[in-house]
Amino acid sequence: MKEWLRETHGATFELLRHFLIHFFDNDLITTPGQMSKLLIAISPVCLQWFFLIVFPLHGKYAYLSELPTSAPYRVAVRADELWLITLMMSVIGLLTALKWQALFPDLSDYRALGALPLRSSQIFVAKLVSLLVAATAALVTINLLPCLVFPTVSEGHWATDSSLLSRVWAHAGASVAACTFSFFGLLALQGVLLNVLPPRTFTRVAANVQGFLVAVMLVLLIASFSIQPEITNAILGTHWARWIPPLWFLGLYEALTGQTDTSMQFLATRAEIGVAVAIPVALVGYFICYRRHRKLMVEGEVGSRRDRRCRAKLLDWVLRDPRKEAIVDFMAKGLMHSSYHRTIVMGYGGFGLAVFLTVCVAIARFLEPNRALAASFLYYHIIALTILLIGTRHLFSRPVEVKANWVFQITEGEGRAAWLGGIDSFVLFWGAILLLVVPFPFELWLLGWRGATEAILFAALGLMSYEWAFCSWEKLPFTCSHLPGKTPTWMILASLGLIGIVSLLHTILLAVLSSAVVYAVVVAALIVAWIRLHHLRRQTWAELRHLKYDEGPEPVVHTLSLLK
């Protein structure tokens, strides 16, 4: 088999091999294959997530099976089935939105393959087949454990169908159909945009749609864990339930289990129509647009001269140092013209919004209105600060165009400290708006003086946290190549345990705000820590010999940072 794969087997096969091998690679990563290593490393973690809830689910359904009536059991199964369908749809939708540019051949594909005797249709067919292979692999991997485990743990005396195989088939049919609809629906959306919009309009609109989809899928993914029987019954009882796709596939699940409820049969019919429409629309749109896709890739987006003049005047007025102004302007342009980086911003925003809404629902359920309001504002500050620190480092570590960083390398000796100071100005400006300026009027209006004390506390905490998070930062944003496997440990732990960290920090800060003496001591300590860290960072800038532009694997022999 290895010998056969080493040989050449025609243009279509070689194109398919090329697209599959490089599906997760991009020009922003120094060493090829790093994304594959990262995916292999995180796959066991992703596959184990369902086992964390197996025992609670088994205990719940064992208890419900012993009840004298079947209603609680079947309502719980319906709610959990809706949760899993929504979760699977949002995961597939999130993966599709994240790889939005990979759904079609990109500009690098045209540059690499354009000189070869290949037709555009050949490139598109190979790209489509590789896309379908990757999507099928992701769909099977994601659905495998839930399809086998959930019908097993939900087995009970009141089950609609006593056959385990039938329940597995029903769950698998509904979940796979839902994921198929989610994937082909987003593919169809991009195909429609490609065929309808002019080239330069498409570039701008598609980037914004991608960011919006990432945010929406993250909100749905996290919010799906809040689905309870009460919420499911309330949504099914509304007239607009027929327009919610996850409910369509819940109806398909119940139809496959043999239930004859008229409303669920109607939803099942909608699910079948949705899948039957999404697949052909996506495929037809994909093949129709291949003739004009090269033009869309080659033509770039042109910014407005008026916008550039207004931005330059504002920076001249705010920043007196031209070097700081240049870096801030470069960062602003990088965010405006890079759909990849805008997607990262929207993704973190959607994730933070989903966590905040989920927490607010729990707070409103267990606390009195006055205490719930104060606790919600406190949670907003904590989540905004956490997302800001993790998201900013993640955003800045992704380059825009690695090969163009020579412009900074030949001039960094003249303004290295000013450039790093420009990064501080950019982050602190937008951090202050997100963390303090936006919520402060509402806090002052609803909480009075307590809102002002919260703002002061988080201003000090935010400054200290920023200095700590960027104490070892030695890059210019968007200029250094990235290795996914070298993500800082504290960022990984914070990302995995965000809810636990937020809850712990919320409890501590709530205790701080309840005592005037403790509050004064903590604020003073945070200010002292910020001043100390700020001074140490400035000393590090003076000792820094060069900035980092190429991320590489960890060296075999460490130099104890003597070569900085």
Query: Are 284 and 339 members of one domain?
Result: no
Query: What gap in Å lies between CA 473 and CA 223, rounded to an integer?
Result: 34
Q: Assess if residue 23 is contained within a domain.
A: no
Q: Assess if residue 449 is contained within a domain.
A: yes
Query: Are 268 and 341 members of one domain?
Result: no
Q: Which of 265, 279, 283 is nearest to 180 (CA)?
A: 279
pLDDT at 542: 76
Query: Are 403 and 294 members of one domain?
Result: no
pLDDT at 89: 92
pLDDT at 240: 82
Q: Which of 3, 23, 210 is nearest to 133 (CA)?
A: 23
Query: Are 287 and 358 members of one domain?
Result: no
pLDDT at 110: 63
Q: Assess if residue 349 is contained within a domain.
A: yes
pLDDT at 562: 52
Query: Are 340 and 469 members of one domain?
Result: yes
pLDDT at 50: 61
Give, for all 564 residues of the chain, the pLDDT tens digit.
Answer: 556 555 556 666 777 776 776 666 554 444 455 555 555 555 555 555 566 677 778 788 888 888 888 888 888 888 999 999 999 999 999 888 887 777 666 666 666 666 566 666 677 777 778 888 888 888 888 888 888 888 888 887 777 766 778 888 888 999 999 999 999 999 888 888 877 877 667 777 877 888 888 888 888 888 888 888 888 888 888 888 888 899 999 999 988 887 777 888 899 999 999 999 999 988 887 777 766 665 565 544 444 455 555 555 666 656 667 788 888 888 888 887 777 788 888 888 888 888 888 788 777 777 777 778 888 888 888 888 888 888 898 888 888 877 778 888 888 777 788 888 888 888 988 888 888 888 888 888 888 888 888 889 999 999 999 998 888 888 888 888 776 655 555 555 555 556 667 777 878 888 888 888 999 999 999 999 999 999 988 888 877 778 888 776 655 555 555 545
- Segments forming the whole domain that contains residue 61: 49-298
Query: Are 261 and 339 members of one domain?
Result: no
Query: Are 218 and 77 members of one domain?
Result: yes
Q: Which residues, at least 6 apart from 545, have a Cβ–Cβ distance to it below 8 Å? A: 563, 564
> Cα dihedral sign for 254, 256, 262, 264?
positive
Query: What gap in Å lies between CA 242 and CA 262, rounded to an integer?
Result: 13
Q: Two tokens at 538?
A: 């400035």
- pTM for the full model? 0.74
Helix axes 412-432, 449-469, angle to 10 degrees: 150
Query: What gap in Å lies between CA 297 and CA 280, rounded to an integer?
Result: 24
Q: Assess if residue 36 is contained within a domain.
A: no
Q: Assess if residue 175 is contained within a domain.
A: yes
Q: Which residues, at least 6 apart from 92, have a Cβ–Cβ distance to it below 8 Å? A: 135, 138, 139, 142, 179, 182, 183
Q: Assess if residue 94 is contained within a domain.
A: yes
Distance of CA 333 to the CA centre of its chain: 22
pLDDT at 495: 56
Query: What gap in Å lies between CA 447 and CA 181, rounded to an integer?
Result: 46
Q: Assess if residue 342 is contained within a domain.
A: yes
Query: Are 269 and 351 members of one domain?
Result: no
Q: Assess if residue 463 is contained within a domain.
A: yes
Q: Is 167 helix (H, G, I), strand (E, B) or coil?
A: helix
In the DSSP assignment, the letter for residue 117 is S
Q: Domain ends where: 280, 298, 316?
A: 298
Query: Are 233 and 340 members of one domain?
Result: no
Residue holding tokens 């359920």? 365
Q: Domain ends where: 248, 273, 298?
A: 298
pLDDT at 182: 93
Contact 250, 175 (CB under 8 A): no
Q: Domain ends where: 244, 279, 298?
A: 298
Query: Are 429 and 526 members of one domain?
Result: yes
Query: Are 293 and 385 members of one domain?
Result: no
Query: Are 339 and 294 members of one domain?
Result: no
Q: Is 243 exposed, middle or buried (0-12, 13-18, 19+ CB in 10 A)?
A: exposed
pLDDT at 301: 46
Q: Give the number of domains in the chain.
A: 2
